[in-house]
Amino acid sequence: MRIGITETVLRDAQQSQMATRMPLSDFQDILPVLDQVGYESLECWGGATFDSCLRFLNEDPWERLRKIKEACPNTKLQMLLRGQNLLGYKPYPEDVVREFVRLSIKNGIDVIRIFDALNDLRNIKITIEETRKHEAEAQVAICYTTSPVHNIENYVQLVKDIENMGASSIAIKDMAGVITPHEVFELVSALKETTKLPLHIHTHSTTGMGFMSLLKAVEAGADVIDTAISSFSGGTSQPATETMVFALEQLGYQTGINIKKMAEVDHFFLPLHQQYVKSGLISPYVLGTRTDALNYKVPGGMLSNLISQLKDLNAIDRFKEVLEEVPLVRKDLGYPPLVTPMSQIVGVQATQNVLSGKRYQNVSKEIVSYLNGEYGMAPGEINPDLQKEILGDQEPITYHFANKLENGLDAGKEKIGALARSEEDVLSYIMFPQIAKRFFKKRKKIEKNTVQYTIEEWEEK
């Protein structure tokens, strides 16, 4: 039996270990080799990569994508998309969503893995349609989480609905690395009876379950697994590619991986990884096994965010209290899976609840929008007292919020004007207005002068 391997080093692995700060120039030379390994797909683009290119790396994310495509013509390029929220943190109008999908495919993406933080399928409908229209693969990911309102029957129903919407394949997205070998075996077995669509498994090594869970998923019939080349594997990243390939091949599965090329990839990335650890870009903390997530159900990325948030606030001694507040906030909100943007929204609220001394005394704008139904339907029941306290007499909406948004493309184009040089620039601007604008200005200055500059010089005051 054939098992496909999706390599995550260019996206999730570096996102999970080093906050997506790897510049194209650091990995460009290995791209032709990555193209020869024989991966099912190469995950290389997504919300954090896009944001980080513009914000920190002074790179045009579209240009990065085109360069990867040019060097990897034989391997499917994969991106992660937050459904109606695209690469951002709030829903965008339909015209923007469609244009973004079209341009992503035009610039080189072959597989769009689409998810919605609430598994509300209204938020992914247009992206599936548009992806299929441009003949790319629309892979829909269900966000895996455990709670009193999540069970196998829900997931089975969800997958039936996703198939009916026209998805090309299904992924189980376990962003927290909490799925256990037993749970994944049961879930994959049930889903294989539900659908003929290829089934992909995405997990993290954070809690140490990763290798075991991937193997059990394969035994239950999963078709493709996500892994990271060993030098960038483990901890908050994915289980190691090589380890899974060797284990699976010996068990009689074919991965189609060229072992020699795979080793070459690892030998390229190992010194880079060591360099990032030395410079502090990679903290040893994210490389170990952390089992707190099994108790608190908090994804690795969210843990490190909470830590840095509390450090900034000089309140790291409250970490344990905040960690214990997270599941309580999550319960109040009807058990949303903790994935972007819900992980940020819940994390900030839990921090506020602990630090201010009175729960929900301060709430973010996002919490108000969430309680108003703007992000979609909560998986479980929202605490009615909280909803009433925050919304007052206002009834939460039941329609699909994005349907009422005005078209955004023309307005965006007009607002950014000549600073945007392409359709792609306009999309960068619509999704990340300030940082895209700052990047466009910098780009102009850099081209005019070949003199050396510091980033700070071109920062907007």
| Cβ nearer to Co ion, comparing 236 with 352 | 236
Stretch that binds Co ion, among 4-12, 147-155, 268-276, 287-295 (CB under 5 A): 4-12
Using alpha carbons, select from 17, 90, 21, 51 the residue that is nearest to residue 405. 90
Pick 231 or 353: Cβ nearer Co ion: 231
Which residue's CB comes closest to Co ion?
A: 12
Comparison of 175 and 333: residue with beta carbon closer to Co ion: 175
Measured CA to CA, the distance from residue 28 to residue 228 in angstroms comes to 17
Per-residue mark of binding to Co ion, 168-207 (x: CB under 5 A): -------x--------------------------------
Report whether 406 contacts 93 (CB < 8 A): yes
On whether the CB atoms of residues 414 and 427 are closer than 8 A, the answer is: no
43 lines the binding site for Co ion (CB under 5 A): no
Q: Are 184 and 169 in contact (CB under 8 A)?
A: no
Choice between 20 and 428, CB closer to Co ion: 20
SS3 325: helix
Q: Which is nearer to Co ion, 89 or 360 (CB)?
A: 89
- The piece of 7-15, 32-40, 266-274, 296-304 that touches Co ion (CB under 5 A) is 7-15
Q: How many residues interact with Co ion (rule CB under 5 A)?
A: 2
**Cβ of residue 175: shortest distance to Co ion, in angstroms?**
5
**H or E element at residue 266:** helix 259-279
Report whether the peptide linkage leading into residue 341 is cis, meaning its omega lies within 30 degrees of zero.
Answer: yes
Residue 12 binding Co ion, by CB under 5 A: yes
Q: To the nearest whole angstrom, how small is the minimum distance from the Cβ of residue 340 to Co ion?
A: 10
Calpha distance 394→98 (Å, rounded): 32
Cβ of residue 202: shortest distance to Co ion, in angstroms? 6
Q: Minimum distance from CB of 415 to Co ion (Å)?
A: 33
Question: Which residues, at least 6 apart from 417, have a Cβ–Cβ distance to it below 8 Å?
Answer: none
Toward Co ion, which CB reaches closer, 236 or 351?
Answer: 236
How many whole angstroms separate alpha carbon 35 and alpha carbon 256? 13
Q: What angle is formed at CA 13 by the lines to CA 128 and CA 10, rounded to 5 degrees?
A: 70
Contacts to Co ion by CB under 5 A: 12, 175
